[in-house]
Amino acid sequence: MTRVPTSGSAPHIRIRIFLLAAAALLFAACAGSADPTDETSTSTNPSTTTTTAGPATSTTSPPETTTTAPPTPLEELGYPVSTDWVVTTVIADIDSATGGLAMDDAGNFYQADFGYTGHVGNTVWKVTPDGEITEWAADDGMESLTMTVRLDDGTIYQSSYGSNAVYEIAPDGAVSVIAEGIRAVRGPTGILVNDDGSLIVEGYNSNILHRIEPDGTVVDWVTHPGFNGINGIARGDDGTIYVVNHRDGGIFSVSADGSEVEELHKFPAPTSHGVYLDGSLFVTSRGAFVVFRYDIETGEVEIIAGNGEGGDVDGRGGEASFGRPNAIIVGTDGALYINHGSENANNPVTIRRISYEPQG
C-alpha cells in the first residue's frame, strides 16, 4: 500500500514556516522605508515624535510698510497758505508787553504797554524807525493798555483794560481820562473814532459795544449773544464794523447803524485784533501763531504769515515765525504791521512788517 503524505507532515510544515518567516522579513524591510514625498515621519518609539519641515512652496514677498509723517502745526490748521506776503523785522526787544500799536506819517510807532509780572503797563512808548525808544505818555491811572488809535492831528485814544477807562492823549503827550469806572466800560479793548467825535469802544468783560459821546457819556450801543471776549475792531469802506472775539475766534459784521449783527467765521481760538484793508479783514491769531486774511466778499480764508509755531524768523508766508501776535494796523506806507511777544510770553515786544509782494 502506498502512504499519501498529509498536510501536517513535518517537511511541509518546515517549508511553510520558512516561507512565512521570509515574508515577514520582507514586509518589515518595506515598512521601514519612508516615502520621500512625506513631510512628516514618525519613529517606532511611541514617546518620541520628530517633525521635519517640507520644502517652501510660497514665493510671495512680505508686504511693504510705509510711514506717514505727522502733520505740521500749519497743516493741522487746514487753511491754504499764501506766498504773496513777506514778513520782516522792524524793531525787536522793546521792554513792553503787547498792547495796542499806532503809527504816524513819519514812521514812528506808538506801542502801548499791557504790562507783565513786576512791570506795570501804564505807558505808551514812542519807537522811531531807527529803533530809538522813549516814553511818550504815562499815567498812574492807566493799567494794562490795549488798543491804541492815533488821529491825523496827533491825538491818541487809548483803552486801559486794567482800570476800566478810556484816555485821550494830546499831541504833546498830556493824558486825560474821558470815560472811566466799571459801570461805564468793563474791560475796554478795541476803539473806533466816529466822524462826529464819538467813540465806539468794546467792553471785553461785558461783551457790549459802547458808544462814548464827545461829552464823555457812555451808552450801551450793540450787544449779541455770540460776542465772547470782544477784543478786536475795524471798520470797512462802507461803514460796516467788524468785531473779533478773543475767547473763541469768532468774527462778526455790525451794520453802520448797529441794527444788524452777523457771524462771519470762527477761527482757531484765541484770536486778538483785526484790521480792514482793500476788502479783506486781517486777523491775528494768538493761539495759532499766524495772521489770517478773510475775504469779505467771498468768505474765503487764507494764512498770509506764520508757520503755526512760536519763533522769530523773517520770510515769505508760512516760512516766517513769530511769538503770539496781538495788535495789527495798516501803516502809512500801506503795509501791515503787527506786534508780538516772545514765544508764549507777551514780552518783550517785536514789531514786524508784513508787505504784499506777489512772486513773479
Per-residue pLDDT at 8: 42
Asked, for residue 57, whether it belongs to a domain, the answer is no
Asked, for residue 65, whether it belongs to a domain, the answer is no
Burial readout 297-324 (b: 16 or more C-beta within 10 A, e: otherwise): eeeebbbbbbbbebeeeeebbbebbbbb
Asked, for residue 182, whether it belongs to a domain, the answer is yes
Per-residue pLDDT at 143: 97
Q: Is 66 exposed, middle or buried (0-12, 13-18, 19+ CB in 10 A)?
A: exposed
Containing domain of residue 99, as a range? 74-356
Asked, for residue 169, whether it belongs to a domain, the answer is yes
Per-residue pLDDT at 46: 39
Asked, for residue 198, whether it belongs to a domain, the answer is yes
Confirm if 312 and 321 have CB atoms less than 8 A apart: yes
Confirm if 168 and 155 have CB atoms less than 8 A apart: yes
Question: Could you report how far apart the first and last alpha carbons of the chain are, in Å?
Answer: 137
- pLDDT tens by residue, the chain, 360 residues: 433 343 444 444 343 434 344 444 333 443 444 333 333 333 334 344 444 444 454 456 667 767 788 999 999 999 999 999 999 999 999 999 999 999 999 999 999 999 999 999 999 999 999 999 999 999 999 999 999 999 999 999 999 999 999 999 999 999 999 999 888 899 999 999 999 999 999 999 999 999 999 999 999 999 999 999 999 999 999 999 999 999 999 999 999 999 999 999 999 999 999 999 999 999 999 999 999 999 999 999 999 999 999 999 999 999 999 999 999 999 999 999 999 999 888 999 999 999 999 997
**Which grid coordinates belong to 112?**
502801548
Asked, for residue 312, whether it belongs to a domain, the answer is yes
Per-residue pLDDT at 61: 64
The one-character DSSP state at 318 is G
Rounded to whole angstroms, the Cα distance separating 305 from 352 reads 11
- Of 300, 307, 263, 264, nearest to 285 by C-alpha is 307
Q: Is the peptide bond before 270 cis (omega within 30 degrees of 0)?
A: yes
Per-residue pLDDT at 20: 40
Asked, for residue 1, whether it belongs to a domain, the answer is no
Q: pTM of this prediction? A: 0.81
Per-residue pLDDT at 54: 46
The domain that holds 202 is classified in CATH as 2.120.10.30
Count of structural domains within the chain: 1
Asked, for residue 177, whether it belongs to a domain, the answer is yes
